[in-house]
Structure 1
Amino acid sequence: MIRTRVARRLVLMAGVMSSVMGMRAAAAQTIAEQGVRFDIPAGDLDHALTRAADQSGMHIFFPSAAVAGKRTAGLSGVSTVSQALARLLAGSGLSWRLRDGRTIIVAPDDKGAAIMLGPVRVQGKAPVQAGLYPYDRADAPAAQGLERRVIGGTKVPTALGENPQSISSVDRTQMDLQAAQSVPEALRYMPGVTAEVGGDDNRIETGQIFVRGFNPNEYLDGLRLQAGTWATPQFDAYALQSLDVIKGPDSVVYGQASPGGLVTLTSKTPTDTPLHEVRLTGGSWGRFQAGVDVGDRLNASGSVAYRVVGLFRNTGTQVDHTTLRRFLIAPSIRWRIDPATSVTFLASYQADPEGGFYNQLPYKGTLLRNPYGRIATSTYLGEPGFDRLRRNQFSVGYAFEHQFLSWLKFRQNFRYQFLDANYNGVTSDALAPNLQDVTRDGYMARETLNTIALDNQLQADYRTGPVRHVTLAGIDYQHATLAQQDWYGYLKAAELNIFHPVYSGFSGTVPAIANAHTTNDQVGFYVQQEMKWENLSVIGGVRGDLFDEQTRNRLKSTTTRQSQGAVTGRIGAIYRLPFGISPYANYSTSFMPQVATTFTGAPLAPTRGQQVEVGIKYQPRKIDGFLTLALYDLKEQNVVTADPVHTNFAIAAGAVRSRGAEVEAHYAIGRSLRVVASYGYVDQKITRKINGYRGGALPGIPRQTASAWADYTVRQGGLEGFGFGGGLRYQGISFANYANQYHVPGVLLFDMDLHYDLGARIPSLHGLSAQFNISNIGDRRYIASCVNLGCYYGLRRNFMGSLQYRW
């Protein structure tokens, strides 16, 4: 078995050599003028344009409404893309233009008409959620129809209607309209996803999210975000262009992953159109934040462009004595070296001087009755002046792409990231017998994390007879070095009255319990094949991973090593029936290495996940929207549980089964109305004992969730530029502990937004707009979730108002 640290050097050398070869072999000829063999039968124009994009490798955007009902005579033989489009569009009243070497815009001959574009292919690597853009933003994608191609799930641009997998998305516009301040807030209206389970406690972002009953992993720009305990990366929602949630196991192209799914984030990067935005926001609890997002060309041809995103935020929270503060700067530069070669450099620095807090509250006084009353949502059980989470993160990387031939391309993504975190916290332990005081512990942690992620991909698009193929082969590498120190003092902090807290300070004198230095390396090899024959699409893949870890315990002067390997796979198919209906089915697997050891010192086996999913995707021809229905049966084995024989040790013997259903709908009517609705059902069961319990559900997972949100913008008349929207979110009943002894009540919340483009009626104010948001309008006091030790209150009513100026 090849050791990962040896393979690491081979992967790095191969990646660098491939990049250099790709740059030297850049083609001088514009791809649009290269000869391509086309085989496009006569029929609907939208299907013909889709086939033209698939067969030529071009990115083609076209107006959904303008092509509806139009037909074409088809095309067969070798011709240039220019000649092919002239033949396909003949007599349609449509024309085309080349936006760059590989991107084509198809539009009505009346260029002045406002159109809604539905993409055949989306340029670049970023998933693009299209739809309504109430403000004419420069970073709005050229394609604004809801039929789109996404990278998530396959690492290859694949139309939602051709991907046999459930994927949910949130774009920049939806985040702006809903005033989402974090990734969990952006996921509020997504089926099968439970977000903000810790209320205001956002110290560990993925701990706030459940996908199909499991905490997901996060990926940024296609690369995994590796994490320690407290040195966990967070990327502010303002710096993101979109995010996708890939449901179910997906280790084949992404490597180690949660069985529930992945949250894939896409950074803001340079655009072809200049953009300039300044945004000021104020709100509840003394919130003040300022954001800037600017980008433009750096040369006359536009081959080099830049973008800079910056943010400052300072706000209190609904909890007394707490503050959140953040500084962010994220520059990027895109260089189109020639029509076949491009590279985007990305960097970011984010400082969180006040990065979050712990505030779990006792059962009695929140979920259960306490004879002395109910604990206020503003109650803080930590220690002001001592508690603090300081986190700094820096990353730098690039995304390189080179088209060797019209059918062969190479991509390489790389990121280095540094994080350090200092955490002090006094935590509540247990409610005293008098039901008024809590005992408290003292805790401190210091962590430093350095990570490297590299992904090399070779994609081939070709045909064998009537079958179109997309083959993806890749090698990825991940490296992490974590230095960790922990101090903990049981009952070392003074008791505190939960109804009338009086803080006495904390010295911070607690004994060391951990001092470790951990290094791990992972290399993955994967192959994926997509095949399309007429209306049938089949996707399959296999992956092998090697994982090595070495941990030095500096307190005990011992070193432990472990090596693990895993093979995962997936297979899925989808068939496009008439009237836009596409049934699909898939089977996929996942794995996740575990760093703990058993009593004997043997490494715990990696967790394993398997899922069977079936569903239907529906995309009506004359309506800009889509509907997805998914049914799944998901299993996870080797879940960590307490060793019943050896105290304070663990074994990998637990198992969980999660079955459920999800429904999701997205619709946009013109440029005025956007509607999102969803429903999720999860039936989760512990099938092998976890911490002594079996047969029940994991705590904190609501069985049912539902949501609906809509936004409308007036486009003409006296109220032109005015918009309003609202939504409702339902979180059903969940269990409070592993014994399923207590139920957490469900809750229905309402949100609203108002926005006004002042320049729509007053030309002198062009570019200036205002927005007002309220979440939890009714100020419902509710419990977001409970675990074995206590409960978390959900977020109370929150006001936010903002002014934006764009030019």
Structure 2
Amino acid sequence: MSGPVDPDGRILYRLTGLARTTGTQIDYLEEDRLFIAPSVTFRPDADTSLTLLSQYLKIDSPGGGAPQALPTLGTLYTNPNGRIPTRRFIGEPNYDRFRVEQAFIGYAFEHRFDDVWTVRQNLRFSHVDTDTQRVQAIALGGDGRTLSRYAWAFPERSDLFNIDNQAEARFRTGPFAHTLLFGLDYLREDARYDESQLRIVPSINVFAPVYAGTVTRPPIGTRITQARNQTGLYAQDEIRFGGFTLTLSGRQDWADAVTRTRTVTSGALTQVRQEDAAFTGRVGLSYLFDGGFAPYVSYATSFLPTSGTNRIGSPFAPTTGEQIEAGIKVQPPGTNLLLTGAVFDLTQQNVLTPDSVDFRFNTQAGEARVRGVELEAKASLTENLDLIASYAGMSSEFTRANANAAGVSIVGNELPFVPRHQAAAWLDYTVRTGPLAGFGFGAGVRYIGASVGDNANLYRIPVVTLVDAAIRYDFGYRHPALKGVDLAMNATNLFDKTYVTTCIAATGCYYGNRQTILATLRYRW
């Protein structure tokens, strides 16, 4: 809900809320979610606004909060005993649980001094408190049925403060129109991660599970605290001249972090201090032709300090990157048609990927590269028929990495979770006249190409093609008194195909969503 509080519209409010309880396709995995986000905007005059923002989220999920990792045998590969059911829960119904409480409060302030200068300040305090406890797989026995398991717990909490101060100037220098933006931002995060010890729990038959019934939460094994700061000074100038738009930007970052790791049983404490600094920038150039053609080219570098630690408690190095992109956008005047195409070359260092030894954690690869092409079309083929279609083709590889203890390197391997090809198309038809006016229906297809699930490329995920469909009715078309009321039914994976989305380890496979049908009755006023 939103709207003005006073007749002059100087005080505005907005309230967004959600309460939801849901089951899933997996036995014993459920979720209760409560979300509320009130905000108030004060506009004393046309040049000044202050918006107070707040948000609260609470999630309680019996079953662990997410699908569990299953063995490759019976999911990705054939198991003599059959396929592991997509509903299979391999944890403990009375133990597995995920809880999170998240809150933030802040404001967005803006004041326009004149036709040239505008200043802004955005500020936010955030607090996140999560607690995860789960029973997970260790290995599948030689009989293809017996699954050994362990219990663990991983509570986390984080307090975050960030503030961004910026000034914007709009002016001309001869034939050049400038939009100049510069600012200073600061971020502070204090986080704590408690890693429990691991506790072996009774095995189960993955095809006919009998659960242990009672599992005791393991004691804390390691406590990690991390405090990090990041300060950034940035500037950007967007320059327009005729049909040309040139964007130049630069940013200098200074980041530091202190990570303390305490082993609870021995009391041993280690401390690691990191200090990093980097300059990053972006340059982009585009030209808008009279016929609606707009080619562009851009080059950008990036720097991102990464919070958290790896499996052995070492903090992550910052992720850095470089991107080159060129493309074209086409929107002919007088048509409802938009075509876009782009080619890109992206290189990143210190990329986070799941740790195949213990996928509760992440690890960092040396350097990775992704090159590809993206195409998209949006068009109204007729007054009633709309089309959306897209395609992405990508090639990925690790270009730099240290060899492991056995002397094996992942250099030349593909990146996990990067399909070589992806495509989608959606046709939507709306009846606008006659006795069926207000009815609409659509259908589409999604193609997800082959990919790998781990850095070593041991697990290759096959191609999958899925079909979606929708039907809806807008009551206001023929009944003005019911304007704002609509009924819709959307189906994803319409033909209920069973497929695997990824496998990151021998006991690290995940099924995709089965057929889902969502009916929605909505009233807007």
Normalised to the residue count of structure 2, the TM-score between the two structures is 0.91
**Are positions 1:429 and 2:138 aligned together?**
yes
Post-superposition offset of 1:668: 4.8
Shift of the 456–675 alpha-carbon distance from structure 1 to 2, 3 Å rule, reads farther
2:477 paired with 1:760: yes
* Aligned pair partner of 1:409 in 109, 118, 123: 118
The answer as to 2:39 corresponding to 1:332 is yes
Judge conservation of contact 2:92–2:215 (CA < 8 Å) in 1. Answer: no
Separation in 1 of the partners of 2:354 and 2:127? 33
* Residue matched to 2:8: 301
User: Quick one: structure 1 residues 578 and 762, their matched pair in 2 at CA, closer, same or farther if it must change by over 3 Å?
Assistant: closer
Q: What does 1:622-641 correspond to in 2, within 5 Å?
A: 622-639=334-351
Change in CA separation of 1:325 and 1:650 when aligned onto 2, cut-off 3 Å: closer
Corresponding residue SS for 1:584: strand
Residue of structure 2 equivalent to 1:543: 251
Distance 1:637 1:552 in 2: 25
1:564 aligns with 2:276: yes
CA–CA distance in structure 2, aligned partners of residues 717 and 638 of structure 1: 60
Q: Assess if the C-alpha contact under 8 Å between 1:641 and 1:654 holds in 2.
A: no
Structure 1 residues 497, 550: closer, same or farther in 2, change over 3 A?
same
Paired position in structure 2 for 1:517: 225
Look up the match of 2:452. Answer: 735
Pair 653,385 (structure 1): closer, same or farther in 2 beyond 3 Å: closer
Q: Structure 1: how far apart are the matches of 2:310 and 2:376?
A: 43
Question: C-alpha displacement at 1:353, in angstroms?
Answer: 1.2
Q: CA RMSD in A?
A: 2.6
Match of 1:533 in 2: 241
Report the TM-score when normalising by structure 1.
Answer: 0.60
Matched-pair contact (CA < 8 Å) for 1:700–1:787: no
In the alignment, is residue 688 of structure 1 matched against residue 410 of structure 2? Answer: no
Q: State the match for 1:315 in structure 2.
A: 22
Residues 683, 703 of structure 1: 8 Å contact kept: yes
Equivalent residues in 2 for 1:197-236, closer than 5 Å = none
Q: How many angstroms apart in 2 are the aligned matches of 1:335 and 1:673?
A: 43
Residues 653/316 of structure 1: CA separation in 2 closer, same or farther (3 Å cut): closer
The answer to whether structure 1 residue 400 and structure 2 residue 117 are counterparts is no
* Cα gap change, 1:755 to 1:394, in 2 (>3 Å): same
- 1:772 aligns with 489
* Residues 467 and 532, structure 1, Cα contact 8 Å, conserved in 2: yes
Tell whether the 8 Å contact from 1:358 to 1:425 is kept in structure 2 after alignment. no
1:803 is aligned to 521
5+ long unaligned stretches in structure 1:
1-293, 644-648
Q: 1:503 — aligned with what?
A: 211
- Output one character per residue of 1:599-623: Cα deviation in whole Å (capped at 9) or x when no partner: 9999764232111111111111111
Counterpart of 1:144 in structure 2 is none
- 8 Å CA contact 1:681–1:703 kept in 2: the answer is yes
Higher helix share: 1
Partner of residue 332, structure 2: 620
Counterpart pick for 1:391 among 94, 100, 125? 100
Deviations 1:322-350 (A, max 9, x none): 10210111111122220111122221111
CA 1:670–1:327 in 2, change beyond 3 Å: closer, same or farther?
farther
Provide the secondary structure at the position in 2 that maps to 1:700: coil
Could you tell me which amino acid in structure 2 is paired with residue 367 of structure 1? L
- What secondary structure sits across from 1:759 in the alignment? helix
Whether 1:479 aligns to 2:161 is no
Aligned-partner residue type, residue 357 of structure 1: A
- How far off its partner does 1:738 sit? 2.8
Distance in 2 (alpha carbons) for counterparts of 1:639 and 1:797: 33
- Which residue pairs with 2:147 in the alignment? 438
Check 1:597–1:774 CA distance in 2 against 1; reply closer, same or farther (3 A cut).
closer
Question: Match of 2:479, as an amino acid?
Answer: I
Change in 2 beyond 3 A, CA 1:526/1:401 = same
Q: Tell me the CA shift for residue 300 of structure 1.
A: 0.5
| Structure 1 residue 723: Cα displacement | 1.7
Percent identity reads: 40
Maintained 8 Å contact 2:153/2:217: no
**TM-superposed deviation, 1:406:** 0.6
- Shift in CA distance, 410/673, structure 1 to aligned 2, threshold 3 Å: farther
Q: 1:602 to 1:503 in 2, by over 3 A?
A: closer
In structure 2, C-alpha distance between the alignment counterparts of 1:339 and 1:705, rounded to whole Å: 47
Q: Is the 8 A contact 2:459 2:503 kept in 1?
A: no
What SS does the corresponding residue of 1:578 show, helix, strand or coil? Answer: coil
| Structure with higher RCO (Cα < 8 A, 6+ apart) | 1
Runs of 4+ residues over 4 Å off in structure 1: 594-605, 639-643, 649-653, 668-674
CA contact (8 A) 2:141 2:148 kept: yes
1:792 Cα offset (Å) = 0.7
Whole-Å separation in 1 of the counterparts to 2:27 and 2:176 = 63
Q: Which amino acid aligns with 1:327?
A: L
